[in-house]
Amino acid sequence: MRPLLLPSSAALLLLLTACGTQNSGSSGGDSASACRTVAPGDPSGAEQDGVRIIGPTGAGCQDVAYEVTNRQREPFTFTITFDDRADTGAVIANGRETVASVPAGRTVRRTLTRSDGGADQVAISKVRSVPADEAPSEGGACPASGVRVYADEGDAAMGLRVVGLHLENCGTGATYRLDGYPRLQLLDEDHEPVDGVRILRGGAAIASGTGQDEPPRALVLRPGERARTGLVWRNTTGAGDPVNAPYVRIRAKPGAAPVTVVPELDLGTTGQLGVGAWQREDAASGPAAGSDRPVSPPSPSSVRP
């Protein structure tokens, strides 16, 4: 398991209200030298988990320059959530930026472009990172494995959470076979394994009506075909310490290459997570695309990595 070496700190604020000192005669390009008259909030805490806001930049100071430092021993992909905030501190809007495949020990600089001019403050509210070779892929080039795996935004109501997992055979020739449940490993913010959580087969183990209770089936996915499953949990908190596991390392089947998704599991003190069996995503493709025959579920009630 890879040790996480990144520090943690409070959200970072960048004040953008004093850009009136910018040289209006400067042309194109990066005008950061003129914008540096703007104080960057609290300089002593200007970093969160390897991401640092440098300062406002661009004509009009509406954009934000930031750096990402990878202190791991292999390339990592970073996803940063930025908040636009009013003077009162209220969040007006937020968005995510992904910086892919930052080499080990390297720092890269990026610009957060805000076409609407932005708010008075910008804050880094969350940083997540996964090994670059395990990053989920919803679009773009097909991974070397020939299989694309990612999590959706999920749904939450009355303390019940459901997050969908999706798999696509994005290769050009070979079929991809699935039979049963994905293998899961829960990881904490330090990318360390989370122990003491039972991973149960089927959504009914957590709540009824989640859509994760179909029996396991043997699937054969041709190129372009998809499968889906889902994670189900409650964030109920009782006696004991609540468990949070931002990351889940997924193997679609035994021997498959791992993919690490970020469903932000807030398991409370329940100690349980339900997972559904893989099902064909496009029902219209029907049995002609594969056997889709039911298989007998194994006798243990929990799925291990």
- How does pLDDT run across 119-150, given as a tens digit for each residue? 567 888 899 999 999 999 998 899 999 999 99
Report the top-level CATH class of 147-294: mainly beta
Res 161 pLDDT > 50: yes
pLDDT at position 120? 66
pLDDT at position 117? 58
Pick the closest to residue 246 from 165, 190, 202 (CA basis). 190
Report the top-level CATH class of 12-132: mainly beta
What's this model's pTM, rounded to 2 decimal places? 0.81
Q: What is the mean pLDDT of the chain?
A: 81
Strand order in the sheet with 176-179: 176-179, 217-221, 293-294
Q: Each residue of 7-50: pLDDT tens digit? A: 333 444 544 444 444 443 334 444 444 454 333 454 433 578 99
Q: Each residue of 105-127: pLDDT tens digit? A: 999 999 998 766 555 678 888 99
C-alpha to C-alpha distances, 252 to 17, 55, 207, 220, 249, nearest whole angstrom: 49, 42, 23, 13, 10
The predicted model gives 207-221 an average pLDDT of: 94
- CATH 2.60.40 domain locations along the chain: 12-132, 147-294
Residues 6+ apart with CB under 8 A from 288: none
pLDDT at position 33? 44
Res 238 pLDDT > 70: yes
The predicted model gives 38-67 an average pLDDT of: 72
Pick the closest to residue 193 from 245, 266, 263, 250 (CA basis). 245
